[in-house]
Amino acid sequence: MKVAAIQMVSGTTVAGNLEQAGALIREAAAAGAELAVLPEYFCLMGRKDGDKLAVRERFGGGAIQDFLARAARECALWLVGGTLPLEASDEAHVRNTSLAFSPAGERVARYDKIHLFRFENGRERYDESRVIEAGAGTASFVLRDRAGRDWRIGMSVCYDLRFPELYRALAAHVLLVPSAFTYGTGQAHWELLLRARAVENLAYVVAPAQGGEHENGRRTWGHSMVVDPWGEVLGQREQGPGVVIAELDAARQASLRAQLPALEHRVL
């Protein structure tokens, strides 16, 4: 099965970002991808944290959700919308939500980011909890590919990557990590953590990212990539908008899991 990790350099307007995302989704479909995954904050990288509040949607309807459903249907692929802001339990927060759609344009899964990024090094300071309300549960879905094979797809977002217990609980064939890593933390740990999650779960990892200089002045690491269950990087893009295409081999994964049945040994 071919998959696509879509890298973006999202700006400060939803309309412009959806236009860019649409073009990249069509590129992925033309390359034969059956699953395409957009990065975290694909629809908006605002000038300030509170900009998310102005474009939040009610779950089940809205311009961003309609765009995702339509793109999946028109391109006849499975599509995961990295993250978009959905209503939370109060007016001062949003949920940072990843939504999955089938080729029929039907929503099949929702994941609200659990682990919220907080970082300060004297030069940069981030605290997602100021505007984002944390999710509380894991999410996965079953994707039947064009050959009739079923893949369990586990959902996560960005900072979740530092919490390995989440991925073991998902018990998935493919782990999704749509992200917007900062340049500094990405340079230090992005590839290392992605390969670790792949190896310890003997799973494919599809990690689309924001990558470049944004209108709001932020710089993101990029290096969107797909990693195989043995930790091999199958493809990546360093910076700028684009699509990383990779082929997932179910037989190879099954062989590796048979040789090294690590998933049978779980601490409960």
The helix/strand/coil state of 153 is strand
| Strand ranges for the chain from DSSP E | 2-7, 35-37, 78-87, 94-101, 107-112, 118-120, 125-127, 140-144, 150-155, 174-176, 204-207, 211-213, 219-221, 224-227, 233-237, 242-247
64 φ/ψ angles, rounded to the nearest 5 degrees: -70, -45
- 4: which strand partners? 36, 245
Residue 40 annotated as catalytic = yes
Active-site position among 52, 57, 133, 158: 158
CA distances to 163, 170, 236 from 44, rounded to whole Å, are: 25, 28, 23
β-bridge pairing 204-207 and 219-221: unpaired
Tell me the helices (H) and strands (E) count for the chain, helix number first: 7, 16
Distance CA 94, CA 79 (A): 22
Residue 113 annotated as catalytic = yes
Q: Which residues contact 196 (CB under 8 A, 6 or more apart)?
A: 164, 231
213 φ/ψ angles, rounded to the nearest 5 degrees: -95, 125
Active-site position among 75, 113, 133, 191: 113
Active-site position among 27, 34, 40, 133: 40
CA distances to 220, 223, 234, 256 from 7, rounded to whole Å, are: 11, 8, 15, 29
Residue 213 annotated as catalytic = no
Q: Which amino acids are annotated catalytic?
A: 40, 113, 158
